[in-house]
A and B are shown apart, each in its own frame.
Chain A
């Protein structure tokens, strides 16, 4: 693994944050940021890493002067941008600072761009508010920066609206907007988190390229250690509003000094697949054959081309094993999961659950069979009814299948203990739990039905790595105890490597590769699988053991 190992001791300091503290306005709780110190030199990329709630984003917003008024206040410290303390500037001066000297790109380019304005005009707007250039000159600058961010067919994209572009193209537009005035400092807040791995790789390369060209200092906020390994010069680790460790990237990954950093790195799942388990007792609990889902053909007057979301999807799972479906967004993996759950109706194909084909059953006929197959969703904050106690959510399904209330409550208590939560959680509401705990509750709700198959649709993708590791561990234990088969849908190859026995790779609605996890990840046959693995950031580094990955 090649890390960046440039030295910046002689370079000019662009940003110097000293003892920055931020608190909730009027609150007496502990500060949100506690004496944060960060230094960024010209041309340097500083990565700020930490789990959610550690204060990464608050730091960046404080630098931009964008802290929510009336909610967060800076209580002390200095934000020094090339000798000027940003905290002393008034609104007008700060507005001049943004875009000219500091600019920012965000996680979700679709919401950061104006949906009803052509993207070219949006880039021009930045010039309008900060410079006085003649129209022709303006257009030239915009086209120039669009070329620099490697947008294809610049003339067409100049006149396009955000929804006509792909996620990667939109993020390139954002980068173009951020860099057109050649700012000294670029703040990137999780800029690639919403993108697919292959796109993420291109965007990271682009940021690095432009940074070298313009000598921009970059403050890069991320939770992804793989991205850190690829892009960082220096890494700052944040926890509970404090910087607990900072070091050049290689030093940090090889010799982390703080216990927390070690744990953070050890929680990063390895890309080396675990050995597949024995196929003892080959009882097929889920068998999907020739599944096909087409959107948009039943319209009466529409001439729209039907979209093939999934076709010729066939696989089966046996008791006690885990099958992973991996692929990028739009590959059809969630469509398959939702068809299997019959949350949407498949166009063609068979779905046999406990030897009954459920693909064609009506809603009413389906109800007795629902019990056999349960789902855990991605977003732990939306998958539990916020108005219901945990107990109500857990007994709902059991009551539907004739369990008495008292028995259902008793069993729910046991289930909570099984997933590692106290039994008194039954009387509490979802908002009183963290994301990881809610995901445990969602798992408890699913296994309360004693299903044969558990569908986990990106079930750990919204969680921090350390929590992710615990939930994966839990799924593993439950599988061991209860012998459930798991259909695990994920975009994250690292997660897939850790939990799956077999892996199905999907692209454009089709299965392109299906084999054991070891074969798919170590000896990929299909070009697309290879591209996916190539693109996984930090794939040559063994984070958990602080060293290079040994070639298998």
Chain B
């Protein structure tokens, strides 16, 4: 029982010698998810190098065409190439997803560490977090966009703010339980300063749950971006994003469903695989949460 697994890789070491099982038994699902996600990421990142058309160039003659060798997935109402738009549009969607995840995890981590360790700060910070959580994220986003105009950063900001309290709560909970550990008390006893204890003893405990939480935030941010664009409160309509493309396509849904289908497919595949990988990471890092078999 006491035999903790050996940290065979540096990854296992960072994530906690105890938490990661020795044998990483992956099913077929996570592997497919990883491949799908890798393809989507590579394809969107390098999209400018291979897409056949400028995603913004309009051509009134070619509007609402079906798939052809010239336009692989057909064209939209302004005669823009759907394939090019979907691939380029992924860039903004992924950027917002990853950006929101990193920013909210980082800010949440800092606030959570302070909140978990200092009692006075905790009382104040957690009340602020409670009120933040009471704000519906879509409404906040619409308000922010209305104030600042539809820019990439206001969308990231709008998605990040409501996610921060979730991260703070997570980090705080980990810190609250870890600070009772005798090794933290021993560090106090040998005269280590509070910031040092926070960063060197407590922070590493939060990494594993944060990676898992980060994947969920990433997926939900991509989705929220799409919803915001769909509502017309997202990134400005000139920039193609999956949400924007679908929003514009919805008028023509009756005559040309592929305008919604292709960006929607990319969005679903992307979110599905990120969530699946997040679940896998959670199972690997915290075997207690894994569903029992049988």
Cβ-based interface call for A367 (8 A): yes
User: Contact: B190 with A442, CB < 8 Å?
Assistant: no
Contact of B181 among A382, A432, A446 (CB under 8 A): A382
> Could you tell me the distance between the alpha carbons of A385 and B189 in the complex, rounded to whole angstroms?
14
Give the size of the chain B interface in residues (CB under 8 angstroms). Answer: 24
User: Contact: A431 with B189, CB < 8 Å?
Assistant: no
Q: Give chain B residues whose Cβ lies under 8 Å from the Cβ of A442.
A: 186
Contact A400-B185, Cβ < 8 Å, known A387-B13, A387-B17, A431-B4: no
Provide a sorted-by-A list of 19 A–B residue pairs whose CB atoms are within 8 angstroms: A343-B188, A363-B194, A370-B188, A370-B190, A371-B191, A377-B185, A377-B186, A378-B182, A381-B2, A382-B183, A383-B186, A384-B183, A385-B183, A386-B17, A393-B183, A429-B7, A431-B17, A445-B190, A449-B191
User: Contact: B191 with A370, CB < 8 Å?
Assistant: yes
User: Contact: A386 with B4, CB < 8 Å?
Assistant: yes
User: Quick one: CB contact mask for A200-211 with B, threshold 8 Å, 1 for yes?
Assistant: 000000000000
| Minimum CB distance partner of A384 in chain B | B183
- Taking CB atoms and an 8 Å cut-off, the chain B residues in 178-198 that contact chain A are 181-183, 185-194
Shortest CB-to-CB span from B150 to chain A, Å, is 44
Cβ-based interface call for B18 (8 A): yes
Chain A interface category by residue count: 20 to 34
> Could you tell me the distance between the alpha carbons of A374 and B182 in the complex, rounded to whole angstroms?
13
User: Contact: B190 with A374, CB < 8 Å?
Assistant: yes
| Minimum CB distance partner of B7 in chain A | A429
> Could you tell me the distance between the alpha carbons of A368 and B190 in the complex, rounded to whole angstroms?
10
User: Quick one: CB contact mask for B218-246 with A, threshold 8 Å, 1 for yes?
Assistant: 00000000000000000000000000000
User: Contact: B201 with A385, CB < 8 Å?
Assistant: yes
| Minimum CB distance partner of B205 in chain A | A387
Binding site for B on A (CB under 8 A): 341, 343, 363, 367-368, 370-371, 373-375, 377-379, 381-387, 393, 396-397, 400-401, 429, 431-432, 435, 442, 445-446, 448-449
Q: Give chain A residues whose Cβ lies under 8 Å from the Cβ of B16.
A: 386-387
| Minimum CB distance partner of B185 in chain A | A343
Cβ-based interface call for B204 (8 A): yes
| Minimum CB distance partner of A457 in chain B | B182
Report the 10 A-B pairs with minimum CB-CB distance, sorted nearest first.
Answer: A397-B190, A431-B4, A383-B182, A377-B182, A370-B191, A400-B191, A385-B183, A382-B182, A367-B191, A375-B189
The interface residues of chain B, by DSSP majority, are classed as loop
For the A-B complex with A370-B191, A379-B182 known, give 12 more contacts whose Cβ atoms are closer than 8 Å.
A367-B193, A375-B189, A382-B182, A383-B183, A385-B183, A385-B187, A396-B190, A397-B190, A431-B3, A431-B4, A445-B190, A449-B191
Shortest CB-to-CB span from B81 to chain A, Å, is 51
Q: Give chain B residues whose Cβ lies under 8 Å from the Cβ of A396.
A: 187, 190, 192
Q: Give chain A residues whose Cβ lies under 8 Å from the Cβ of B186.
A: 375, 377, 383-384, 442, 445
Q: Give chain A residues whose Cβ lies under 8 Å from the Cβ of B4.
A: 386, 431
Q: Give chain B residues whose Cβ lies under 8 Å from the Cβ of A377.
A: 182, 185-186
Shortest CB-to-CB span from B216 to chain A, Å, is 25
Contact A387-B189, Cβ < 8 Å, known A377-B182, A382-B181: no
> Could you tell me the distance between the alpha carbons of A382 and B213 in the complex, rounded to whole angstroms?
26
User: Contact: B190 with A386, CB < 8 Å?
Assistant: no
> Could you tell me the distance between the alpha carbons of A431 and B4 in the complex, rounded to whole angstroms?
6
Contact of B190 among A343, A378, A429, A449 (CB under 8 A): A449
User: Contact: B182 with A397, CB < 8 Å?
Assistant: no
> Could you tell me the distance between the alpha carbons of A386 and B188 in the complex, rounded to whole angstroms?
17
| Minimum CB distance partner of B183 in chain A | A385
User: Contact: A370 with B182, CB < 8 Å?
Assistant: no
> Could you tell me the distance between the alpha carbons of A393 and B18 in the complex, rounded to whole angstroms?
18
Contact A435-B190, Cβ < 8 Å, known A379-B182, A429-B7: no
User: Quick one: CB contact mask for B1-33 with A, threshold 8 Å, 1 for yes?
Assistant: 011101100000100111000000000000000
Q: Give chain B residues whose Cβ lies under 8 Å from the Cβ of A432.
A: 6
Shortest CB-to-CB span from B53 to chain A, Å, is 52
| Minimum CB distance partner of A57 in chain B | B1
User: Contact: A429 with B189, CB < 8 Å?
Assistant: no
> Could you tell me the distance between the alpha carbons of A526 and B236 in the complex, rounded to whole angstroms?
83
> Could you tell me the distance between the alpha carbons of A431 and B189 in the complex, rounded to whole angstroms?
22
Q: Give chain A residues whose Cβ lies under 8 Å from the Cβ of B190.
A: 370, 374, 396-397, 400, 445, 448-449
Q: Give chain A residues whose Cβ lies under 8 Å from the Cβ of B187.
A: 385, 396
User: Contact: A341 with B189, CB < 8 Å?
Assistant: yes
Shortest CB-to-CB span from A426 to chain B, Å, is 17
User: Contact: B189 with A370, CB < 8 Å?
Assistant: yes
| Minimum CB distance partner of A448 in chain B | B190
Q: Give chain B residues whose Cβ lies under 8 Å from the Cβ of A429.
A: 7, 17
Q: Give chain B residues whose Cβ lies under 8 Å from the Cβ of A383.
A: 182-183, 186
> Could you tell me the distance between the alpha carbons of A174 and B16 in the complex, rounded to whole angstroms?
36
> Could you tell me the distance between the alpha carbons of A363 and B185 in the complex, rounded to whole angstroms?
13
Contact A386-B191, Cβ < 8 Å, known A381-B2, A442-B186: no
Contact of A431 among B18, B182, B185, B204 (CB under 8 A): B18
Shortest CB-to-CB span from B198 to chain A, Å, is 13
